[in-house]
Amino acid sequence: MTPDSTPDPQIDPTGITVYEFQELIRDRYFASDNARGTAGTFLYLTEEFGELATALANNNRKDKPPTQAERDNLEEEFADVLAWLATLANINKVDLAQTLIKYTDFSRVQGIKD
C-alpha cells in the first residue's frame, strides 16, 4: 500500500482513533481494494505478516541489537499490517472500532492466553 504523498492536515497521527484510521484507509483505497476483493486482499495481508515476522526477527536477535533502519522497518511493518487489516474490514463491511468491544467490555473479557 502506497501512502498518499500529502498527509491530511485534519488528522493528528498521534491521536487517531481506530474508527478514524479505518475511515482514512476507506477514503484513500476503497475503490481499488473492493475491486481486488477479499481473497486478493487477504493475500496482501498475509504477505505483510511475513514481512512483520522478518522485521521482528531482525529486531530480536540475541547476538546484536537492531540497527535504526531495522527498527524503522519494524514500525513500518506494524503500520502495514494494520492498514491491510482495515482494508479487509472495509471490503467486508466490518467496523473494527465496534468489534473492539470484545476487549473493552470488562464483562466480556475473561482469562488470558499463556
Indicate which CATH number applies to the domain containing 112. 1.10.287.1080
Instruction: Report helix angle 68-91 to 18-59, nearest 10.
Output: 140
Least confident piece of the model among 13-17, 55-59, 86-90: 13-17
Residue 45 resides in a domain: yes
Are 89 and 22 in contact, with CB atoms under 8 Å apart? yes
Q: Is the pLDDT of residue 95 over 70?
A: yes
Domain that holds residue 111: 38-114
Residue 102 resides in a domain: yes
- The radius of gyration computed from the CA coordinates of the chain, to the nearest angstrom, equals 16
d(CA 19, CA 97): 5
Residue 89 resides in a domain: yes
Residue 63 resides in a domain: yes
Residue 16 resides in a domain: no
Give pLDDT tens digits for 9-26.
Answer: 566 677 899 999 999 999
Residue 12 resides in a domain: no
State residue 7's pLDDT score.
53
Enclosing H/E stretch for 6: none
Q: Total structural domains in the chain?
A: 1
Residue 13 resides in a domain: no
Q: Is the dihedral of CA 6, 11, 17, 19 positive or negative?
A: negative
Looking at the chain, the whole-number percentage of residues with pLDDT higher than 90 is: 75
Give pLDDT tens digits for 34-56.
Answer: 999 999 999 999 999 999 999 99
Residue 7 resides in a domain: no
- CA dihedral 72→79→41→21, nearest 10 degrees, is -150
d(CA 20, CA 78): 17
| Mean pLDDT (the chain, rounded) | 89
Of the pLDDT bands very low, low, confident and very high (cuts 50, 70, 90), residue 1 is very low
